[in-house]
């Protein structure tokens, strides 16, 4: 059964907006809180911060020299040995790494700067022996970089 039609489609009907309608719309949609100039400045600040974060992330993502401890052993209450692997994209550059030993209480009980001479391989393995003043339980690389 077909619906009754009034002959009006609603597409071309004139709508009359009264002053009360305009006031109601104005109260419903208040003016912007920030001017376009303030929004432009905020946009530039956000863009600068994003650019800075991307720059820091990409520059820190690939360090010139990095190091890791592959194996370690507690030799005595006063000594730990480890195998340090140093990764250098340019093996002709000398490197240095700062190795620390911690006790079971997380106290730093030993530390050593390890010098890695220039070589021919990207990965260089160096044996390390660190003297401690108290029994160590862990050995880690705190930092690595080009030797200066």
Top-confidence range, 1-15, 43-57, 58-72: 43-57
Residues 39 and 74 in one domain: no
Q: What average pLDDT score do residues 94-123 get?
A: 93
* 72, pLDDT greater than 70: yes
Residues 97 and 113 in one domain: yes
Residues 26 and 93 in one domain: no
The domain in which residue 75 lies consists of 66-146
* 6, pLDDT greater than 80: no
Q: What average pLDDT score do residues 123-129 get?
A: 94
Flag whether 7 is in a domain.
Answer: no
Cβ-Cβ contacts under 8 Å for 110 (sequence gap 6 or more): 80, 100, 101, 130, 131, 132, 133, 136
Residue 105 pLDDT: 93
Residue 30 pLDDT: 76
This prediction's pTM: 0.63
* CA geometry: angle 111, 112, 117, nearest 5 deg: 160
Residues 75 and 30 in one domain: no
């Amino acid at each position: 059964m077909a619906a009754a039609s009034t002959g009006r489609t609603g597409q071309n009907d004139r709508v009359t907006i009264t002053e009360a309608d305009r006031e109601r719309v104005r109260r419903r949609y208040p003016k912007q809180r920030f001017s376009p100039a303030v929004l432009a400045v905020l946009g530039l600040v956000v863009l600068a911060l994003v650019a800075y974060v991307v720059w820091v992330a990409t520059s820190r993502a690939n360090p010139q020299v990095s190091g890791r401890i592959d194996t370690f052993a507690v030799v005595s209450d006063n000594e730990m040995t480890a195998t340090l692997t140093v990764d250098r994209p340019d093996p002709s550059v000398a490197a240095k790494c700062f190795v620390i030993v911690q006790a079971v209480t997380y106290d730093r009980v030993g530390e050593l700067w390890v010098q890695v001479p220039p070589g021919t391989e990207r990965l260089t393995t160096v044996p390390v022996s660190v003297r401690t003043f108290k029994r160590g339980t862990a050995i880690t690389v705190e930092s690595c970089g080009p030797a200066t």
